[in-house]
Structure 1
Amino acid sequence: MRPQKVLDNEILDGLSQVFRSKGYDGASLKDLSDATGLKKASLYHRFPSGKKEMADAVLHHIQNWVEEQVFFELLNEENSPNLRLQKGLNEIRLLYNGGKEICIFRALSLQSGLELFANEINTGMQKWISTFESLGLSFGLTPNEAKNEATKTLIKIQGSLIVSKGLDNIEVFENALQEIEMTYSKS
């Protein structure tokens, strides 16, 4: 068997960059091929169902990373709630490259992508909310307060990414993360 010329994570990272920057409908096979270093035939060999399967693989890849990095830190009860929050926010900074990258949920929720990925996007967002809800409980919030703050936190993260991109100012994202930290720390 021939060794793979491009590692799977590199392929998924390349696909991710295209989907994040162009959305599902805007991502052409040429774009996806160029980003991965694979010819179109090789892409179809790895992803026989085509672009939908590629996007599914990207969603799965990013969600696994979020669970292993972000959610792990936010839920790690070996650390104090403040330390968990700080470490989790640092992982969020990495995930979004300090506010320079848009969220894959946003990228795939435009045009026909929303119809194709609605369940995955909904499930992913629910996981973000439930994770921050658990963190809020560890800060002493009531269940209702924890759920409300978790939803606001997701809105702050997602909204700040959009505004950061639109204004070409990553400080908006950083300020949102600092506001999140202050909000939970005051609890």
Structure 2
Amino acid sequence: MTRTVFEKSDVTSLVTEVFRELGYEGASMSKITARTGLSKGSLYHFFPGGKDQMAAEILAHIDQWFISNIFEPLEKHEPRAAIDNMWQEVDTYFQSGQRICLIGAFALDETRDRFATVIRQYFVRWIEALSAALVRTGISQEAADQVSEETIAGIQGGLILSRALNDESFFERTLANLAQRISKTIAD
């Protein structure tokens, strides 16, 4: 039985979860229709460019969420408050480690080449935004860059291990440890 969907955002959310579960290569049109309950006609109505357009729009949607909720606050708001907010937003977005980072997952397979610019910009912006906030707290650019890179790598690694171990507390502990490290760096 097919679903009735009226908004593109509804379709985007459904398709996003299929890509999260199966990856880009594993998400064939037949699997997307089966898992979303949407007909191919409905999918092509919203995404005339097919699977590539779906993925591109999903990546753009994710990027926009991170711009609004993570990157811009780190770039523009009081740095300590923005960093504290980042931990909460990251935990909520990734559902305490039970939701993969789709951009990170795309970076790991052949999809990387298809969406290389978007993937690279996402990670570079996050590292640079966190680094800028850290510099505004008074630490050196070099230290801020190093801590930022290690923090984003730690978040991504925490997501992978949390899912692999089926233990959401692992991701929560990872975020707490990373937050503690940044707090100590800022205090020193």
Q: Work out whether the TM-score is over 0.5.
A: yes
Give the secondary-structure state (helix, strand or coil) at the position aligned to 1:109. helix
Task: Report the secondary structure of 1:159's partner residue.
Answer: helix
Kindly state the Cα deviation for residue 6 of structure 1 after the two structures are TM-superposed: 3.1
Match of 1:87 in 2: 85
* 1:67 corresponding residue in structure 2: 67
Change (3 A) 1:36 1:6: farther
Paired residue type of 1:133:
S
User: For the residues of structure 2 that align with 1:60 and 1:36, how far apart are their CA atoms?
Assistant: 20
Aligned pairs, how many? 182
Please tell me the residue identity of whatever aligns with 1:61: H
- CA positional deviation for 1:37: 4.0
What's the offset of the Cα at 1:93?
1.1
The one of 108, 111, 114 equivalent to 2:109 is 111
Aligned to 1:50: 50
Instruction: Return the alpha-carbon distance in structure 1 between the equivalents of residues 141 and 112 of structure 2.
Output: 30
Task: Tell me, in whole angstroms, the C-alpha distance in 1 between the residues paired with 2:108 and 2:82.
Answer: 33
Greater alpha carbon shift after TM alignment, 65-74 vs 50-59: 65-74
- Corresponding residue of 1:24: 24
Partners of 2:148 and 2:35 lie apart in 1 by 35
Show the counterpart of 1:142.
Answer: 140
| Contact kept in structure 1, 2:158 and 2:170, CA below 8 Å | yes
Q: Secondary structure at 1:101's aligned position in 2?
A: coil
Q: Letter of the aligned partner of 1:152 in structure 2?
A: E
When structure 1 is superposed on structure 2, of 88-97 and 55-64 the one drifting more is: 88-97
Structure 1, unaligned runs of 5 or more: none
The answer to whether the 8 A contact 1:69-1:91 is kept is yes
Q: What is the CA-CA distance between 1:171 and the residue it aligns to?
A: 1.5
Mean Cα deviation higher: 47-56 or 33-42: 33-42
Contact 2:5/2:11 (8 A) holds in 1: no
Cα distance, 1:86 vs structure 2: 1.5
Contact 2:100–2:159 (Cα < 8 Å) also in 1: yes
Q: Say if 2:97 and 2:171, in contact at 8 Å, map to a contact too.
A: yes
Q: 1:41 matched to which residue of 2?
A: 41
1:150-161 correspondence runs (5 A): 150-161=148-159
- Decide whether the 8 Å contact of 1:73 with 1:84 is kept in 2: yes
Tell me if structure 2 keeps the 8 A contact 1:139–1:185: no
**Letter of the 2:48 counterpart:** P
Label 1:32 to 1:125 Cα distance change in 2 as closer, same or farther (>3 A): same
Unaligned 5+ runs, structure 2: none
**CA distance in 1 between partners of 2:121 and 2:178 (Å):** 22
Shift of 1:82: 2.6
Give the superposition deviation at 1:159: 0.3
Shift of 1:128: 0.9
TM-score by length of 1: 0.90
1:126 aligns with 2:119: no
Question: What percent identity do the matched residue pairs reach?
Answer: 30
Distance 1:167 1:25 in 2: 24
